[in-house]
Structure 1
Amino acid sequence: MEKLTLLIDFLLTHKLLLTVLIIILISAIKRLVIHNIRGDVAFLSETQRKWMSRTKNGSFILLIVILFMLWQTEINKFALSVTAIAIAIVVASKEIILCFTGSIQRASSRSFVIGDWIEMGSLCGEVIEHNLMATVIQEIDLHHGQYHFTGKTATFPNSTFFTYPVKNLNFMKRYVYHDFKITVIEFVNLYPLFPDLLVKIEQHCEDFFEVAKRYNSVIERHAGVDLPGAEPHIHINSGATGEQNVHIMIFCPTERASHLEQLIREDFMVAYHQAFGK
């Protein structure tokens, strides 16, 4: 007991050494917990990512609290000594303060959680980690209608939440409104092609149409708005140089959107060639 008391007194006297030991201990525990959560799997699940993020954030907060309590006397003395330059410190640390407040804003508004698909400015991706300073996403190629991961990881500071709106695209992980257009240069009457084209589109979507209708109803109830529906839609508009743009929208499983688009384009080209080909 006396040796333990002497050791504690020694560590409290040499706070720098105690600080290093605390950091090493908490880091080791964090690594051990994260290793156990990850296991031997090749791909992380959403639950694993959530618990890994909670472990990292919790260990960081615990470390800050312990160090603050340990160095409280020195911090108070330092605070009194820097009162005259407090404004300069605030200005210099403005970005850090914005990151902290951006994290609080995200948590309070519940705009997204780990595993959600989000769009932030020109970036789209699945959230794989977020902490007090930054958010990390796995980029997804949504702007080209492919809906697959690009392999790139994007990290942006939480201060950007005050600059760009965050769009939660989580419902698109399963089903998506896939909209694409086909441009026709010649000015011909395309409307007679649409009834047969709609029949072919419905045949392509027949195996998942009932599930798509139920999922569409779930999204409508959750969002509280009247969505276009699970049925395919076709409409035409004219371009600036007189060409016709045929817009086709389908509600389909996200992973099949690109393949279905190619099938529908083929059906349209075959029907167009039969009707107007020379």
Structure 2
Amino acid sequence: MYEFFQDKYYVQNIFTSVVVFITLLAIRFLVVRQITQLKISPAESKINITVRVKNAFIVIIFFSLITIWSNELKTIALSFVAIAAALAIATKEFILCFVGGFYKWVAKPFSVGDRIEIATFRGDVVDYKFLTTTLLEIGPTGQLSQYTGRTLVIPNSLYLTFSVSRESHNEKYVFHSFTVPIANTQDWRQCESLLLFAAKEITTPFLTEAKKFFNSKNNAFVLGPASIDPRISLVLPSPERIDLVVRIPCPCMQTNRTQQAILRRYLELAAQEVKINSDLRTGASIFDN
């Protein structure tokens, strides 16, 4: 503090500020006094003029002091900018989580009870706040729709960089897809036929009601003309493998159960087919002998 007052530059600025401040206050006092002696009617006009003059002098005093201390204020402003930048870097994740929570609150991409998938996380939403979202994990892979027993707390910053896939539990029926891989050496036509037969057999009990649901006015506009029956598409991820992609309609809360039933039925049919072919080959060899 002593060194501060020893610096002539700061002493000069302080002295100048005091002189300017006192001078402008004195001028304001004289001007206001002069206005009060004038004969102005109505009285409200004189009061308005007085108030405006006082406010004008306050602004003049303020800008005069800023002009005197402009260099010091510039240094302080640069220091504040540096501090703000350091804080922004240090709290980057916190800020992103808050912004992501605000985006989620405005956009409302999902609600509690919806099943969502974002980045590598998939689960049912049980709670969400401005910084985090809590999920009951579904998995452990994308091919399964059962609870793993784990609770995921994900940062809301993910909503700013990844898209959200939503599976609503509010709908009665949904479309569900899963993949059945087979070797390129297998008879893919036979596998496709057996898998389609299994899908139709398992979905027959609710297929008629599902068609009514998807063809209703509320869903027809969203879906457009779409085939509701189970269908299979072929994908070639590599020369050694063929993926049979199954798409079926099913009750929204029974996707995993329906998928497992179709897979088990398909494996049973495939095993029976292998046994029949084996028996035929054995019978043929006996007949030849």
TM band (smaller chain): 0.5 to 0.7
How far the C-alpha of 1:190 sits from its partner, in A, is 2.8
Q: Does the 8 A contact of 1:187 with 1:243 survive in 2?
A: no
Equivalent residue in structure 1 for 2:89, among 78, 88, 91: 91
Q: Deviations over 1:102-157 (max 9, x none)?
A: 11101111111111111110110011111111111110017342211101111111
Paired with 1:222 and 1:140, the residues of 2 have a C-alpha distance of 29
Q: What is the letter of the counterpart of residue 178 of structure 1?
A: S
Q: Does the 8 A contact of 2:183 with 2:240 survive in 1?
A: no
Paired with 1:258 and 1:220, the residues of 2 have a C-alpha distance of 30
Q: Is 2:206 the counterpart of 1:204?
A: no
The gaps in structure 2 that reach 5 residues or longer are: 1-76, 282-289
Q: What is the letter of the counterpart of residue 206 of structure 1?
A: T
Q: Which residue of 2 aligns with 1:271?
A: 273
Q: Which residue of 2 aligns with 1:165?
A: 163
Secondary structure of 1:112's aligned partner? coil
Q: Which residue of 2 aligns with 1:63?
A: none
Paired with 1:193 and 1:119, the residues of 2 have a C-alpha distance of 29
Paired with 1:88 and 1:239, the residues of 2 have a C-alpha distance of 47
Q: Is 2:180 the counterpart of 1:181?
A: yes
Q: Is 2:128 the counterpart of 1:130?
A: yes
Q: What is the letter of the counterpart of residue 129 of structure 1?
A: D
Change (3 A) 1:219 1:142: farther
Query: What is the aligned-residue identity percentage?
Result: 21
How many aligned positions are there?
A: 197
Q: Which residue of 2 aligns with 1:39?
A: none
Change (3 A) 1:176 1:257: farther
Q: What is the letter of the counterpart of residue 205 of structure 1?
A: T
Q: Does the 8 A contact of 1:187 with 1:242 survive in 2?
A: no
Change (3 A) 1:167 1:142: farther
Paired with 2:181 and 2:275, the residues of 1 have a C-alpha distance of 14
TM-score by length of 2: 0.56
Q: Which residue of 2 aligns with 1:32?
A: none
Change (3 A) 1:110 1:210: same
Paired with 1:276 and 1:237, the residues of 2 have a C-alpha distance of 29
Q: Which has the larger radius of gyration?
A: 2
How far the C-alpha of 1:184 sits from its partner, in A, is 4.5
Paired with 1:219 and 1:191, the residues of 2 have a C-alpha distance of 38
Q: Deviations over 1:226-248 (max 9, x none)?
A: 47533121344557455555443
TM-score by length of 1: 0.58
Secondary structure of 1:104's aligned partner? helix
Paired with 1:91 and 1:116, the residues of 2 have a C-alpha distance of 34
Q: Which residue of 2 aligns with 1:258?
A: 260
Q: Does the 8 A contact of 2:136 with 2:152 survive in 1?
A: yes
Q: Does the 8 A contact of 1:182 with 1:265 survive in 2?
A: no
Q: Deviations over 1:137-184 (max 9, x none)?
A: 110017342211101111111112112221112268954413222514
Q: Does the 8 A contact of 1:117 with 1:173 survive in 2?
A: no
Paired with 2:137 and 2:152, the residues of 1 have a C-alpha distance of 7
Q: Deviations over 1:37-85 (max 9, x none)?
A: xxxxxxxxxxxxxxxxxxxxxxxxxxxxxxxxxxxxxxxxxxx9x9563
How far the C-alpha of 1:206 sits from its partner, in A, is 1.6
Between stretches 235-244 and 102-111, larger displacement belongs to 235-244
Change (3 A) 1:217 1:268: farther
Q: What is the letter of the counterpart of residue 109 of structure 1?
A: A
